[in-house]
Chain A
Amino acid sequence: MSAGDLGAAALRAALFLSLWGTGAAIYAAWRRDARVLASARVAAGFAFGLVVIAALSMMFALATHDFSILYVAENNARETPLFYSIIGLWAALEGSILLWTAILAGATAFIAFRGTLAIPRLATTALAVMFAMLTFFLLLITTPAADPFARLAVAPENGNGPNALLQTHPLMPLPPPLLYLGYVLTSVPFAYAIASLILGEGGDRWLVATRRFALISWALLGVGIVAGAWWSYAVLGWGGYWAWDPVENAAIMPWLTSTAYLHSVMVEEKRSLLRSWNLALVVATFALTILGTFLTRSGVVNSVHSFSLSAIGPILLGYLVAILVLSIGLLLWRSARLRDAGPIGTPLSREAIFLFQNVLFMAATLTVLLGTLYPLVAEAISGAQLSIGGPYFDRVEIPVALALLFLMGIGPQLPWHGASRATLERQFTAPIVAAAFGALAALITGTTALPAVLTYALGAFVLATVVQEFARGVRARRTLHGEGGVAAFANLFRRSGRRYGGYVVHIGIVLVALAVATSQARTVDAERTLAPGDSLDVAGYTIRLEAIRPVSEPQRDSIVADLAISGNGASEHLRPALVQYPNSAAAVGSPGIGAGLRDDLYTILAAYDQRTFSWATIRTRVIPGVSWLWLGGAVVGIGAIIAALPAPRRRVVRMPVAEVAVSAK
């Protein structure tokens, strides 16, 4: 039995188990039948195991170059190195859906075993929803539309090899699994939300049960987006990290709605408001992950990241429509039970800021959606060709992002219900002074464009509020618990991880904002055709072309420019190249990047003398502050980990009413 047969059989068995599990979970939730629930649990566990076996079989088939499988023949070649063979699992459509299904099966098993213990009925209903979605994906990959194990009648001598762009950099394997994990984990809050609506539970139990999932999926999406930006930067070779490309847009939309949800959920937890709004946000986040997959995996839009045309487009679209109809129908049906009691708070209360923030995030999401879809719709309706790209998104999204940065500084500093004038003065003196210093720092360091100066001012504003919060927290712990400074600081994270981890995330976001503002405002381009020995000066760097030479490897041929870099304290060699893969018509540019905290020197081999190697056109870009972007992404990830870690168990202390009033304030 070959690996391909094993994988295909495993998927079919998993489909059978998933169908059983769907029915069993529905029955168990309806009749509260523990034995049937136990069988659904077993089905979930085995289905997960079987899909993992299928994924491993595919990796094995790729590693052993089994070209009798169509997917392997199309995405692998004998010359492909082992590492790129194995990660070929997510190098194209069918394999990606297999990986996606494996993650979904894992989440289903997790709910089956852990979730159903805490709140049996809600979690069992959610399990039924998870099983239904798993069944859909298993059906998808066992039909010809996206069958990863489809066979070829005659195995070719050699395969086509992976997409050229996907094997030029060891970073390539990182972003897709992160994003798929983030995408798929949004289905857990979705399943619980749907379960809560079906059962007609007005409370927030679904939300408490899934907030860690929501946080983790949000963090994975965020880190995946930054990792994807890093991949574009290091691989695509145009000297940027974000192009408002459809795949990038598809990833950022659920991240935006998910960010809105993580904040508005606090309003529901503290004030029991916004119930239907939070449900709607969870549904929107999940629907946007499916929409993104549809847009980028069906050939509807062209993108540097997307795969070839496929028949799964209409199926995914049907799935999306079904999800939307079901969710909106349930929301309308249950709307009477979800009504909020009373008004929200004064305009200067924390909940009001969260709401304004939500409006801004929704506007940002709508803009991305509109900008991505409008050209398609316009062309379908009137045949008019229309471009919507970076300048459009920048014009709309930069003001929104600046307003969000402002609210990020204000929100955590305001009390619930409303703030008095004295509170405002006490909370905002230091941040406003910091904002003034931030703006001056921008001007002094030569960042003089207005949006960038505003970003620096608001960034300093937010950082000051975060420092102020930490200082207060440490002081409070020292007074109340008599802890030393360091212990108090560490205990803020251990005891109130959600809050202080959130502040760490805010620091990361400020770093990202500063990186984007700085790099957008102060990037310098230069391009010159050089003979070996000539040099080019740009922004304090001297770039000397030492040689231009061909390099041959088994899986590719390259033309490499050897550049010696000096100036600005740098002394290094960069090797931008043009790489020719046998399965790709055009050569792929591979940039040479000298990274630094102050700026990156990005070099590209644009053209060269193909006969005598006597000249090369070198394009260079000096991009200040771009490293802070990767740093900011890492800080966001660390903050999310702190926020997601469970707090140590506290001893339950019953307090008299008066003390509850004080501590609840």
Chain B
Amino acid sequence: MNRRVLIAIAVLALAGALAFAARPHETTADERVDQITTELRCPVCQGLSVKDSTSETARQMRDLVAQRVREAKTNAEIEAEFRAAYGDWIFLSPPLASWTGLVWLVPVAALAAGLALVTGRLRSGGVPQPSAPTTTEVAALRERVAREEAAEG
């Protein structure tokens, strides 16, 4: 088969699979409890989430979240209840809005700056044509071969 046809079919299949995975779908009550408890810090543990912790406190918090989900509260309402009780500290992922937004901004800014820096140093235009090496390049190559063999020996 023609390579390009094959690539086109594969890309379509891949896109289809990813679109299927990304489709919006109803979350079950259990999934919602998991979503919310993953974000909550177990107050008596060292950095573990309420979902993961085996402590009694975490178990009670899981039960409370499950009860709120049964009461048809939204995720935002449930989170607001925990924020009112504990403050932002209870969330393992700091809010984007306030000054804690820096922890989100800095990695993104660093990534953008780094990519810009690298892109600026790349050669633009077509592929360089392979040319015969100059004598200095050959000399450098010879020296390198000799040196690496000496180093490995």
Contacts and interface: CB of A to CB of B under 8 A. Distances in A.
Given A240-B52, A345-B123, A388-B103, 4 more contacts: A346-B126, A425-B4, A432-B11, A448-B20
Contacts of B17: 436, 439-440, 442-443, 453, 457
A449 B119 CA distance: 32
Interface in B1-46: 3-4, 6-7, 9-11, 13-14, 17-18, 20-22, 34, 38-39, 41, 46
Contacts of B117: 359
A304 interface: yes
B47 A243 contact: yes
Given A389-B41, A395-B93, A363 B54 contact: no
B10 A436 contact: yes
Contacts of A374: 100, 102-103
B49 to A, nearest CB: 6
B38 to A, nearest CB: 6
13 contacts: A303-B46, A344-B121, A345-B123, A346-B126, A385-B87, A387-B89, A387-B94, A390-B49, A391-B49, A425-B4, A433-B6, A448-B21, A660-B141
Contacts of A363: 107, 110-111, 114
Interface of B: 3-4, 6-7, 9-11, 13-14, 17-18, 20-22, 34, 38-39, 41, 46-49, 51-54, 56, 59, 87-94, 100, 102-104, 106-107, 110-111, 114-115, 117-119, 121-128, 130, 132-133, 135, 138, 141, 145-153
A355 B133 contact: no
Q: Is the interface of A mostly helix, strand, loop or mixed?
A: helix
Interface string A392-412: 100110001000000000000
Interface in A617-665: 619, 646-647, 649-650, 652, 657-658, 660-661, 664-665
Contact of A647 (B87, B123, B152): B152
A454 B14 CA distance: 9
Interface in A243-287: 243-245
Contacts of B39: 391
Contacts of A389: 41, 47, 49, 92-93
Given A429-B3, A457-B14, A243 B48 contact: yes
A362 interface: yes
A323 interface: no
Contacts of B124: 346
Interface string A361-399: 011001100110010001000000111111110011000
Nearest to A604: B54
A254 B135 CA distance: 40
Interface of A: 118, 205, 208-209, 237-240, 243-245, 302-304, 343-347, 352, 355-356, 358-360, 362-363, 366-367, 370-371, 374, 378, 385-392, 395-396, 400, 417-420, 425-426, 428-429, 432-433, 435-436, 439-440, 442-443, 448-450, 452-454, 457, 525, 527, 589, 604, 606-607, 619, 646-647, 649-650, 652, 657-658, 660-661, 664-665
B122 A343 contact: yes
A370 B107 contact: yes
A239 B52 contact: yes
B123 A344 contact: yes
Given A387-B41, A432-B10, A660-B133, A347 B93 contact: no
Contacts, number: 203
Contacts of A386: 88-89, 94, 100
Contact of B138 (A118, A362, A418, A660): A660
B20 A443 contact: yes
A363 B11 CA distance: 29
Contact of A360 (B111, B122, B125): B111
A383 to B, nearest CB: 12
A396 B92 contact: no
B105 to A, nearest CB: 10
A432 B5 CA distance: 12
B8 to A, nearest CB: 10
B52 A238 contact: yes
Contact of A345 (B14, B103, B122): B122
B39 to A, nearest CB: 5
A440 B18 CA distance: 9
B144 to A, nearest CB: 8
Given A209-B151, A362-B114, A417 B92 contact: no
A194 B140 CA distance: 25
Contact of A450 (B13, B22, B110, B152): B22
B53 A344 contact: no
Contacts of B122: 343-347, 352, 355
Contacts of B132: 657-658, 661
A302 B150 CA distance: 49
Contacts of A439: 13-14, 17-18, 21
A604 B38 CA distance: 19
A205 B122 CA distance: 26
A444 to B, nearest CB: 10
Given A347-B122, A388-B94, A448-B21, A359 B52 contact: no
List the 5 shortest-distance A-B pairs measured between CB atoms, nearest first. A389-B92, A359-B114, A439-B17, A391-B93, A436-B13
Contacts of B149: 649-650, 652
Given A387-B91, A527-B59, A589-B54, A432 B7 contact: yes
A619 B125 CA distance: 60
Tell which of A352, A396, A400, A436 has the most Cβ of chain B within 10 Å: A436
Contacts of B34: 525
B46 A245 contact: yes
A501 to B, nearest CB: 15
Contacts of B90: 387
B127 A665 contact: no
Nearest to A652: B149
Given A429-B6, A450-B22, A661-B132, A440 B92 contact: no
Contacts of B133: 657, 660-661, 664
Contacts of A429: 3, 6-7
Contacts of A385: 87, 89
Nearest to A650: B149
